């Protein structure tokens, strides 16, 4: 009871502080972001020390190498993150953008203007850098934020949010606008606070995102893992397609924009697969191949037979390995490739390798994913690479915001109507006054 009482109070405070933040103009929010950067600089020794404590504890618990690597926030990484904070402060202001400015009639003027959403509830993995990025994006977009990071990063996050709050205070903004939760129990509490929290952004596994979606009335910005594909068309350039396959899979296999399945047109399979298999094998990738691919690869010279190759089952087409494992399937047509992606994919990012513009156009038009690529690695699906400056994550839902979500995805809009006493009765019935509907 005490616990939930205090979380409720914390959310109410965040809401009040967020309303104040939302009332600042762009210059005021930019100043707050700069104060946060300075506060992070001032607190750098504390943050790095807190991170070392998290790392020591993680080591004692024997967490995986990949998790450990993400947990590190040393002096160099922190400086890079602080530079990132200042970059966000230089991005175009997402708030106050006039999207419609229309005279409905003389003296009756409608404006549709972007505005902050309110309070964001963000649950993220054990990456202390995420706490910095998310807080900064929230402040720049005029939103309050209630953050819950992974347990392993707790001390780092405390030190970071302490500095963020000091920066807010220095800018004259209530530090309550950004809050940190530290216990797992508080997540369930947070999901019930639909009167105070406007948007939940869960980052993490598919099952966690689904848990959140099924346990809250608050709108959820779905940040799922990705089941991405590269389709090598019959008209692909083989060298180019091999490079794309290696980069899309192996450049950072734990990322949600890495591919999990390679689809290959049967007309190019004999020419492409041996070269691709050799290059992927050199990058440490284990292949899970269908029958046709196995037949081609078994007899290919220089591949050493069946080593590093496993038989794919149907379950592989739905598998998100997030590791150096890749499903390989030979398809009979572009049509089959598109149908496979729309059936098994997660609507994240899918790419076609082809030199045939018509095949590319067909693929881009009919694949139902947030990102559809032609001759480019799926790993480009990222807010920084798209030029958004930063991202809170990648959304695989169909309704906006879709794909990498940066500042523009953290605002909504309001309709402002200004008149001089106009009433609808005058615009109704047989002698209705007409609207002018003139864009200004």
Give yes or no for residue 251 binding a second copy (CB under 8 A): yes
Total site size for a second copy, rule CB under 8 A: 71
Query: Nearer Cβ to a second copy, position 55 or 410?
Result: 410
Is 437 among the residues that bind a second copy (CB under 8 A)? yes
Nearest to 354 by CA among 329, 327, 372: 372
Query: Counting contacts by CB under 8 A, is residue 392 touching a second copy?
Result: no
Q: In whole angstroms, what is the distance from residue 226 CA to residue 203 CA?
A: 12
Q: Is 213 near a second copy (CB under 8 A)?
A: yes
Q: In angstroms, give the least distance from the CB of 6 to a second copy.
A: 21
> Closest CB to a second copy among 128 and 409?
409
From candidates 4, 12, 182, 397, binder to a second copy by CB under 8 A: 397
Measured from the CB atom, the residue of 163 and 221 that comes closer to a second copy is 221
375 binds a second copy (CB under 8 A): yes
Cα–Cα distance between 251 and 285 in angstroms, integer?
Answer: 11
Site mask for a second copy (CB under 8 A), range 333-372, x = bound:
--------------------x------x---xxx-xxxxx
Binder of a second copy out of 35, 247, 260, 391 (CB under 8 A): 247
* Minimum distance of a second copy from residue 39's CB (angstroms): 28
Using CB under 8 A, pick the residue from 6, 418, 432, 440 that binds a second copy. Answer: 418
Find out whether 252 and 258 touch, Cβ atoms under 8 Å. Answer: yes
Q: Where are the beta strands (DSSP E) in 282-331?
A: 286-289, 309-311, 325-331
Q: By CB under 8 A, is residue 240 in contact with a second copy?
A: yes
Q: How far is CA 131 from CA 118, 155, 324, 431, in A?
A: 18, 12, 28, 59
Which of 301, 314, 423, 431 is in the footprint of a second copy by CB under 8 A?
423
The two tokens of residue 382 are 């990222």
By beta-carbon proximity to a second copy, the closer residue of 174 and 248 is 248
Residue (42 or 275) nearer to a second copy, CB: 275
425 binds a second copy, rule: CB under 8 A: yes
Distance CA 304, CA 335 (A): 33
Residue 209, classified by CB atoms within 10 Å of its CB into exposed (0-12), middle (13-18) or buried (19+), is: buried
User: Between residue 100 and residue 139, which ones bind a second copy under the rule CB under 8 A?
Assistant: 100, 102, 104, 108, 110, 112, 117-118
Q: In whole angstroms, what is the distance from residue 2 CA to residue 160 CA?
A: 26
Using the rule CB under 8 A, is 243 a contact of a second copy? Answer: yes
Does 398 help bind a second copy (rule: CB under 8 A)?
Answer: yes
Q: Which stretch binds a second copy (CB under 8 A): 31-39, 66-74, 152-160, 415-423?
A: 415-423
Shortest distance, position 116 Cβ to a second copy, whole Å: 10
Of 68, 208, 211, 413, the one binding a second copy (CB under 8 A) is: 413
Cβ–Cβ < 8 Å for 313, 294: no
- Judged by CB under 8 A, the chain residues 13 through 52 that form the site for a second copy are 19, 23
- Written as six digits, the tokens of 59 are 């080591």
Q: In 178-190, which positions are buried (b, 16+ CB within 10 angstroms) versus exposed (e)?
A: bbbbeeeebbebb
Q: By CB under 8 A, which span of 126-134, 168-176, 301-309, 394-402 interacts with a second copy?
A: 394-402
97 binds a second copy (CB under 8 A): no
Shortest CA distance to 410 belongs to which of 142, 191, 74? 142
Measured CA to CA, the distance from residue 335 to residue 102 in angstroms comes to 45
Whole-angstrom CA distances from 173 to 32, 43, 87, 143, 252 are 8, 19, 20, 12, 39
Any residues with CB less than 8 A from the CB of 398 and at least 6 apart, and which? Answer: 347, 368
By the rule CB under 8 A, 198 interacts with a second copy: yes
């Amino acid at each position: 009871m005490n616990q939930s009482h205090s979380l409720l109070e914390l959310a109410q405070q965040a809401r009040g502080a967020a309303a104040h933040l939302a009332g600042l103009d762009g210059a005021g929010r930019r100043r707050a972001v700069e104060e946060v950067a300075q506060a992070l600089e001032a607190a750098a020794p504390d943050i790095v020390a807190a991170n070392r404590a998290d790392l020591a504890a993680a080591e004692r618990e024997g967490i995986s190498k990949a998790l450990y690597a993400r947990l590190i926030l040393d002096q160099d990484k922190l400086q890079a993150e602080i530079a990132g904070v200042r970059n966000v402060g230089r991005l175009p202001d997402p708030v106050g953008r006039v999207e419609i400015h229309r005279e409905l009639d003389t003296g009756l003027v409608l404006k549709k203007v972007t505005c902050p959403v309110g309070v964001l509830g963000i649950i993220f993995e054990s990456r202390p850098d995420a706490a910095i990025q998310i807080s900064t994006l929230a402040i720049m977009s005029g939103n309050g934020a209630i953050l819950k990071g992974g347990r392993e990063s707790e001390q780092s996050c405390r030190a970071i949010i302490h500095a963020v709050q000091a920066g807010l205070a220095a800018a004259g903004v209530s530090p309550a606008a950004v809050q940190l939760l530290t216990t797992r129990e508080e997540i369930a509490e947070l999901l019930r606070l639909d009167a105070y929290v406007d948007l939940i952004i869960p980052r993490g596994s598919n099952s966690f995102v689904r848990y959140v979606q099924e346990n809250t009335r608050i709108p959820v910005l779905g940040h799922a893992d990705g089941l991405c594909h590269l389709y090598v068309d019959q008209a692909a350039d083989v060298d180019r397609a091999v490079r794309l396959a290696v980069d899309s899979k192996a450049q950072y296999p734990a990322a949600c924009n890495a591919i999990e399945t390679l689809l290959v047109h049967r007309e190019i399979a004999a020419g492409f697969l041996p070269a691709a298999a050799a290059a992927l094998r050199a990058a440490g990738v284990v292949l899970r191949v269908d029958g046709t691919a196995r037949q081609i690869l078994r007899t290919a010279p220089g591949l050493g037979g069946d080593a590093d190759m496993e038989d794919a089952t149907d379950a592989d087409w739905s598998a998100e390995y997030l590791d150096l494992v890749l499903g390989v399937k030979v398809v009979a047509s572009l049509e089959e490739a598109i149908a496979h992606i729309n059936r098994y994919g997660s609507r994240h990012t899918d790419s076609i390798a082809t030199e045939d513009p018509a095949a590319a156009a067909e693929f881009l038009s009919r694949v139902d994913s947030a990102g559809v690529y032609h001759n480019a690695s799926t790993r480009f699906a990222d807010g920084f690479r798209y030029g958004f400056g930063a991202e809170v994550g990648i959304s695989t839902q169909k309704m906006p915001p879709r794909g990498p979500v940066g500042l523009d995805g953290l605002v909504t809009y309001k309709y402002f109507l200004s008149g001089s006493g106009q009433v609808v009765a005058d615009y109704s019935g047989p002698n209705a006054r007409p609207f002018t509907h003139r864009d200004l």
